[in-house]
Amino acid sequence: MRRLPPCLLVLAVLGVAFAAADGAPAEQSGGAGVRVTFKGSISPKYLPRHRSVPIKVNLSGSVHSSDGSPLPPMQRLEIGFGARGALDAGGLPTCSPRRLRNATRRQALARCRSSLVGRGEIVAEVPVNRDRPLLVRPRVYAFNGRSNGRRAIWLHAYAPSPPVSFVLPLYLRRLDGAFGIQIESPVRRALGSWPRLRSFEITLGRRYRADHRPRSYLSARCPLPPSFTIGIAPIARATYLFAPRPTLTVTIQRGCRVRR
Amino acid sequence: MGLARVFVPLLLFVFGLYAVAPAAEAPTRTDYVVQLERICKPRTEATRRAVRGVQEDVRSEHLSRAAPKVARAKRIFAKTVSLIGGVPRPEADLAKLARWFSALHRESKALEATVDALRDDNIPRFQRVWADFIHQANKANNVVVAFGFNYCSFKSSRFR
């Protein structure tokens, strides 16, 4: 399988320098009665300057009404990340979304455990009653997949009560510029016209062996100048596209550290 | 005659108040945003020009070379805060905007500390105060997220 080439750290504003904003609050954006948040982090906190090491990326976001009116449906969610790293799924088995559809959590794991690349949680709102919408909180597993020759991640969501099981596709593509990888998810097509995505939290990353050597689904480095120990850069950008509007973009900046 | 002497000026005063009332009325949030964006847009462009080359200066560890550029950006920022501070604010948003302006002043102080660290060629201090600046900028942005500002909110991607 093809390895997505590494993209070097692209530094913001002053290029270098920043203390880690690890405990930073989520960045926000708003407009047309909607407020969105986005937050992200990379672990481990300390990375080498010159060679990439396995990492995990945690991304989370939420959608709120800023004036109390019902939320418009989210059409699509796009997340750019990988500014200073690479995604490598070479030798990692893929799973088909057909094997995940209508599966419980246990069934999904039994069928596709070898392609597991992450986990998290989704909160969706079903407006059966305008004043008290039904909230569903399925836990999700992320599985490595392919769709029409493109790399993809299948988010399998399952909650026993109220019973919910669906697959949210995340299509991956390479980006030029500040972010190396873009995830695109047709949220509305996957969830249907009723449920509204309220929040998500997902951690991606996996170490595995392929061709008799250790590999990592995600890897990164922190290429700072010699005298710097901390660099702050835009690590991810989320674009929430609602129908018919608004389109809201949030970019988050976080620090990477190197040991002296 | 005596009554007329009292009432006519009183009536004129009352009608006069009505006449000027619309002009002194607090703006709506939408009007306020439009007014502020008009001030912020050219000043953001000026800031973008002022910090050109700073990324390379810092990356090559020539901090003192970056200092005058960031100092210029700091002056533009402080003047912008003072200009938008003079615009009448919507009644309903007075408390929120007061918090925003406090955050903008903290942001301005952090930027000043950044300039000092750059002038002193002090990399460890620069790393610390720059982080504080970004943190303050994010906090300020979050206070007025419902306003939907574009040029009046800090977006680092604009200065890359």
pLDDT in tens, A193-214: 778 899 999 999 999 999 999 9
Interchain CB contact of A10 with B (< 8 Å): yes
CB A189 within 8 A of CB A212: no
Residues of B in Cβ contact (< 8 Å) with A28: 141-142, 145
The pTM of the whole model exceeds 0.95: no
pLDDT level of residue B6 (50, 70, 90 thresholds) = low
Comparing CA positions, the residue from A164, A155, A2, A192 lying closest to residue A79 is: A155
Whole-number pLDDT of residue A194: 78
Residues of B in Cβ contact (< 8 Å) with A25: 138-139, 142
CB A146 within 8 A of CB A170: no
Give the integer Cα–Cα distance in Å for A233 and A175.
Answer: 17
Question: ipTM of this predicted complex?
Answer: 0.71
B7 CA: distance to closest CA in chain A (Å): 47
Comparing CA positions, the residue from A169, A203, A202 lying closest to residue A186 is: A169
Whole-number pLDDT of residue A192: 84
Interchain CB contact of B87 with A (< 8 Å): no
Whole-number pLDDT of residue A260: 67
Whole-number pLDDT of residue A11: 32
A196 CA: distance to closest CA in chain B (Å): 20
Q: B116: alpha, beta or left, given left = phi > 0 and alpha = psi -120 to 50?
A: alpha
Identify which of A25, A178, A230 has the shortest CB distance to residue B138.
A25
pLDDT at B1 over 50: no
DSSP sequence for A136-185: E--EEEEEEEEETTEEEEEEEEEETTTTEEEEEEEEEEE--SS-SEEEEE
A16 CA: distance to closest CA in chain B (Å): 6
* Across A118-128, average pLDDT: 90
Query: CB B58 to CB A253 under 8 A?
Result: no
Lowest mean pLDDT among A42-46, A72-76, A254-258: A254-258
DSSP sequence for A77-103: EEEEE-TTEEE--TT-----HHHHTT-
pLDDT in tens, B10-59: 444 444 444 444 445 789 999 999 999 999 999 999 999 999 999 899 98
More confident residue, A259 or B101: B101
Whole-number pLDDT of residue A103: 94
CATH 1.20.120 describes domain B27-159: yes
CB A35 within 8 A of CB A205: no
pLDDT at A117 over 90: yes
Identify which of A10, A21, A35 has the shortest CB distance to residue B145.
A35
Lowest mean pLDDT among A9-13, B57-61, B156-160: A9-13
Give the integer Cα–Cα distance in Å for A136 and A162.
Answer: 7
pLDDT in tens, A132-162: 888 899 999 999 999 998 999 999 999 998 8
Residues of B in Cβ contact (< 8 Å) with A30: 145-148
Interchain CB contact of B26 with A (< 8 Å): no
Whole-number pLDDT of residue B159: 66
More confident residue, A83 or A183: A183
The 3-state secondary structure of B17-85, one letter per residue: HHHHHHHHCCCCHHHHHHHHHHHHHHHHHHHHHHCCCHHHHHHCCCHHHHHHHHHHHHHHHHHHHHHHH
